[in-house]
Structure 1
Amino acid sequence: MVTTVTLAPERVVRPQLNLDLQPTVAEFFAGIGLVRMGLERAGFRCVWANDFDPQKKEMYRTHFKGSGNHYFSGDVADVDIAKMPRKISLAWASFPCIDVSLAGWRRGLNGKHTGTFWHFIRVMNDLKRQHRLPAVVALENVSGLATSHGGKDLVDAIMALNEIGYSVDVLALDARHFVPQSRPRLFLVGALSKPIETQEDDLVLRPARLQAVFDNPSLVTHKAALPRLPPPLTAGLADVVDPLPAHDERWWDAKRTTAFLESLSPVQKKRLEQLMASKRLAHRTAYRRTRDGKPMWEMRADEIAGCLRTARGGSSKQALVQVNGNEINVRWMTEREYARLMGARDYNLDGLRRNQALFGFGDAVCVDVVEWLARHYLRPLVEAAESNR
Structure 2
Amino acid sequence: MDNVTSIDAARPKVLEFFAGIGLARLGLESAGFRVAWSNDYELSKRSMYEAHFGMGDSSHTFRLGDIAGVTADELPSDASLAWASSPCTDLSLAGGRAGLAGKESGTFWEYIRLLRELKTKGALPAVAVLENVVGLATSHGGDDLVAAISAFNELGYSVDVLVIDARRFVAQSRPRLFLVAVTDPSDDVDSVSDLRPDWLQWVFGDANLRTHRAALPAAPAAKLNGFGELTEAMPRDDARWWDSERTARFIGSLSAMQLARITEMQKMAGSRFRTAYRRTRNGVAMWEVRPDDISGCLRTARGGSSKQAVVRLGDGQMQVRWMTPREYARLMGADDYRLDGVRTNQALFGFGDAVAVPAVRWLAKNYLVKALSGGSDSMRPSVDFAHR
Determine the C-alpha separation between the residues in 2 that align with 1:162 and 1:132. 17
Alignment of 1:206-355 (within 5 A): 206-355=196-345
User: Looking at CA atoms only, which structure, 1 or 2, has the larger radius of gyration?
Assistant: 1
Q: CA deviation at 1:200?
A: 4.4
Determine the C-alpha separation between the residues in 1 that align with 2:250 and 2:135. 31
Partner of 1:197: 188
Determine the C-alpha separation between the residues in 2 that align with 1:181 and 1:350. 24
Determine the C-alpha separation between the residues in 1 that align with 2:303 and 2:373. 44
Instruction: Give the counterpart letter for 2:292 in structure 1.
Output: D
Partner of 1:384: 374
Which of 87, 96, 102 aligns to 1:105? It is 96
Partner of 1:39: 28
8 Å Cα contact 1:339-1:347 kept in structure 2: yes
Runs of 5+ consecutive residues of structure 2 not aligned to the other structure? 380-388
Partner of 1:90: 81
Determine the C-alpha separation between the residues in 2 that align with 1:26 and 1:199. 30
Instruction: Give the counterpart letter for 1:22 in structure 2.
Output: R
8 Å Cα contact 1:288-1:314 kept in structure 2: no
The alpha-carbon distance between structure 1 residues 14 and 57, as it changes in their structure 2 partners (threshold 3 A), is closer
8 Å Cα contact 2:267-2:317 kept in structure 1: no
8 Å Cα contact 2:136-2:142 kept in structure 1: yes
| SS of structure 2 residue aligned to 1:160 | helix
Q: CA deviation at 1:245?
A: 1.4
Partner of 2:142: 151
| SS of structure 2 residue aligned to 1:346 | coil
Determine the C-alpha separation between the residues in 2 that align with 1:303 and 1:231. 16
Partner of 1:56: 45
Partner of 1:10: none
Determine the C-alpha separation between the residues in 1 that align with 2:281 and 2:208. 43
| SS of structure 1 residue aligned to 2:211 | coil
> Are 1:28 and 2:22 counterparts?
no
Determine the C-alpha separation between the residues in 1 that align with 2:207 and 2:173. 33
8 Å Cα contact 1:106-1:148 kept in structure 2: yes
After TM superposition, the structure 1 stretch with the greater mean CA deviation from structure 2, 87-96 or 75-84, is 75-84
Q: CA deviation at 1:374?
A: 0.2
8 Å Cα contact 1:285-1:320 kept in structure 2: yes
With structure 1 as the length reference, what TM-score do the two structures score?
0.93
Instruction: Give the counterpart letter for 2:360 in structure 1.
Output: V
Which of 142, 161, 172 aligns to 2:163? It is 172
Runs of 5+ consecutive residues of structure 1 not aligned to the other structure? 1-12
8 Å Cα contact 1:145-1:151 kept in structure 2: yes
After TM superposition, the structure 1 stretch with the greater mean CA deviation from structure 2, 18-27 or 56-65, is 18-27
With structure 2 as the length reference, what TM-score do the two structures score?
0.94
Q: What's the Cα RMSD here?
A: 1.8
Determine the C-alpha separation between the residues in 1 that align with 2:47 and 2:212. 38
Instruction: Give the counterpart letter for 2:49 in structure 1.
Output: Y
The alpha-carbon distance between structure 1 residues 46 and 133, as it changes in their structure 2 partners (threshold 3 A), is same
8 Å Cα contact 1:162-1:168 kept in structure 2: yes
| SS of structure 2 residue aligned to 1:337 | helix
The alpha-carbon distance between structure 1 residues 248 and 319, as it changes in their structure 2 partners (threshold 3 A), is same
After superposition, the C-alpha distances for 1:318-347 in whole angstroms (9 at most, x for unaligned) are 000001221111000000000000000000
| SS of structure 2 residue aligned to 1:105 | coil
